[in-house]
Structure 1
Amino acid sequence: MSAYVIFVRKTTHDEQEMQTYAKLAGEARGDHPITPLAFYGDITTLEGDDAEGAVILSFPDIEAAKAWYYSDAYQEAKKHRNLGADYQVLLIQGV
């Protein structure tokens, strides 16, 4: 069953760290079966707090999503994301 990782960027603190994150996160994709569905496009807040941007990534299943997220390469990239911005990250199973 498909799975989705959803990133919601709330506030950016350090653009340089975010540039490093973008480079490393792209490299961390490797051979993981990731399909981007939305990538920082126009965003409208319908309810709740505003967000600067959002990303939705599709995976074949929860295990594939976790394998990518917990990979050494993505965990290294994540360090820069955490220094550069405040995010909420969700993993949700599809139907």
Structure 2
Amino acid sequence: MSAYWICVYKAVHDQDKVTAYAELAGPAIKAGGGRFLARGNPEATFEQAEVTRTVVIEFPSVEAAVATHDSEAYQEALRALGDGADRDLRVVPGWEG
């Protein structure tokens, strides 16, 4: 079953660090089987939503999503990000109802 990384940027403190993170994170995520589905600020918000950068990435499974996060390549990206942003990153399983 597929799984999704959902990442919301609560605050960006250093755009250069975010850019450095993105340059490293993209290849690490793709190497882990991730596929970017959405990336950017919302076009519309509802129900107390915030206008914050949001990224949605599809993975083949929860295990692949977690393994990608824990990979050395992605951890290198996180080190580059450092304190450059406050983010909320979660892995949500896909639903096949």
TM-score by length of 1: 0.87
In 2, the alpha carbon distance for the partners of 1:57 and 1:73 equals 17
1:92 counterpart = 2:92: yes
Structure 2 unaligned segments of length 5 or more: list them. none
In 1, the alpha carbon distance for the partners of 2:15 and 2:87 equals 14
Compared with structure 1, are the counterparts of its residues 51 and 9 closer, same or farther at alpha carbon in structure 2 (3 Å cutoff)?
farther
What is the aligned length? Answer: 95
1:58 counterpart = 2:58: yes
Structure 1 unaligned segments of length 5 or more: list them. none
Shift of 1:78: 1.2
Where in structure 1 do 4 or more consecutive aligned residues deviate above 2 Å? 41-45, 79-82
Compared with structure 1, are the counterparts of its residues 51 and 71 closer, same or farther at alpha carbon in structure 2 (3 Å cutoff)?
farther
Contact 2:41–2:52 under 8 Å retained in 1: no
Superposed CA deviations along residues 22-80 of structure 1, whole A, max 9, x for unmatched, are 11112323532111111115343323452421000001111111111110110111123
In structure 2, the residue corresponding to 1:83 is in which secondary structure?
coil
In structure 1, the partner of 2:9 is 9
Cα root mean square deviation, aligned: 1.7
In structure 1, the partner of 2:21 is 21
Percentage of identical aligned residues: 38
In 1, the alpha carbon distance for the partners of 2:82 and 2:46 equals 26
In structure 2, the partner of 1:80 is 80
In 1, the alpha carbon distance for the partners of 2:61 and 2:37 equals 15
